[in-house]
């Protein structure tokens, strides 16, 4: 669908499949001009680096979403291993602290302009304020997201994962170049599922999101390519 193609696609399709062939069937209906792809914990645990390389070799920008959260040395090694796979973006939990994020940043220096974008996860989009409080964080989600995003920027990261509900605040506080990757995207009328801090694609773009992660609304649709096309058009 030529009309939906963009040079810098904003939609990242979350490939959360238990069956490799199901994922490949979907990928065969998508193009690198229309979307980027995300491999997360389910598919990486099942199918590993081989599946990631398959997508990279097919010409897609791949976001390896393993949300590393460990001691600085371990996270640095894991981030470097991600770079070896040729992925476009990789993430760590910003709550791992500035020293951990700095170690991750340093591990990518040898890759120069081939290094993936390094992104910090702030407060998961599935969490409400009440659930955040239950973990011992007494701030609102927006305050906690901003605090973690400031630490991510201080450590030299390229941006953060947050909900689109926090995007306008973060753009205003951290400037236009700090990338905002926003899951919890739900086109009007689609099921929220386990997501809580949600926005539509149009709202997310208006709020300042740079990249929108969309999983089930596309992957579980009868015609995933048509839904992607519709979302791309809605953002123009």
Which of 66, 143, 216, 221 is in the footprint of ligand OMP by CB under 6 A?
216
C-alpha span between 19 and 106 (Å, rounded)? 35
Asked if residue 37 binds ligand OMP (CB under 6 A), the reply is no
Which residues 118-157 are close enough to bind ligand OMP by CB under 6 A? 121, 124-125
Q: Is 158 annotated for ligand binding?
A: no
C-alpha span between 142 and 170 (Å, rounded)? 9
Least distance CB 63 / ligand OMP (angstroms): 7
Q: Which two tokens stand for residue 76?
A: 């640095």
Cβ proximity to ligand OMP: between 109 and 192 the closer is 192
Select from 122, 153, 152 the least CA-distant residue to 137: 122
Is-catalytic flag, 24?
A: no
SS3 assignment, position 119: strand
Beta bridge partners of 44: none
Select from 172, 85, 82, 84 the least CA-distant residue to 119: 82
Asked if residue 215 binds ligand OMP (CB under 6 A), the reply is yes
Choosing from 5, 67, 77, 171, the catalytic residue is 67
Q: Tokens 């801090």 correspond to what residue?
A: 197
Least distance CB 190 / ligand OMP (angstroms): 9
Which residues 77-116 are close enough to bind ligand OMP by CB under 6 A? 91
Asked if residue 16 binds ligand OMP (CB under 6 A), the reply is yes
Least distance CB 54 / ligand OMP (angstroms): 18
SS3 assignment, position 212: strand
Stretch that binds ligand OMP, among 70-78, 110-118, 207-215, 228-236 (CB under 6 A): 207-215
Helical H segments across the chain, by residue range = 20-27, 41-57, 72-84, 98-108, 129-134, 141-154, 167-174, 201-207, 216-219, 224-234
Annotation: binding site:
16, 38, 65-74, 125, 186, 195, 215-216
Interface ranges with ligand OMP (CB under 6 A): 14, 16, 40, 65, 67, 91, 121, 124-125, 161, 183-184, 193, 195, 213-216
Catalytic residue ranges: 67
């Amino acid at each position: 669908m030529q009309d939906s193609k963009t040079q810098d696609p904003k939609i990242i399709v979350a490939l959360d499949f238990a069956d490799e062939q199901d994922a490949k069937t979907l990928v065969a209906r998508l193009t690198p001009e229309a979307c980027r792809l995300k491999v997360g914990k389910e598919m990486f645990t099942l199918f590993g680096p081989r599946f990631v390389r398959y997508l990279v070799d097919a010409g897609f920008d791949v976001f390896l979403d393993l949300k590393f959260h460990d001691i600085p040395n371990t996270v640095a090694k894991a981030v470097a291993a991600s770079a070896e796979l040729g992925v476009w973006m990789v993430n760590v939990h910003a709550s791992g602290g500035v020293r951990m994020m700095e170690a991750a940043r340093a591990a990518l220096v040898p890759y120069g302009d081939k290094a993936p974008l390094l992104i910090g996860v702030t407060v998961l989009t599935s969490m409400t304020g009440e659930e955040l409080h239950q973990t011992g964080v007494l701030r609102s989600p927006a305050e906690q997201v901003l605090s973690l995003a400031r630490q991510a920027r201080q450590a030299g990261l390229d941006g953060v994962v947050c909900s689109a509900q926090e995007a306008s605040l973060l753009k205003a506080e951290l400037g236009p170049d700090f990338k905002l990757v926003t899951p919890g995207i739900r086109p009007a009328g689609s099921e929220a599922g386990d997501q809580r801090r949600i926005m539509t694609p149009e709202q997310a773009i208006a709020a300042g999101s740079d990249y929108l992660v969309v999983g089930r609304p596309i992957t579980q649709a009868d015609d995933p390519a048509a839904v992607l096309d519709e979302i791309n058009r809605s953002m123009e």
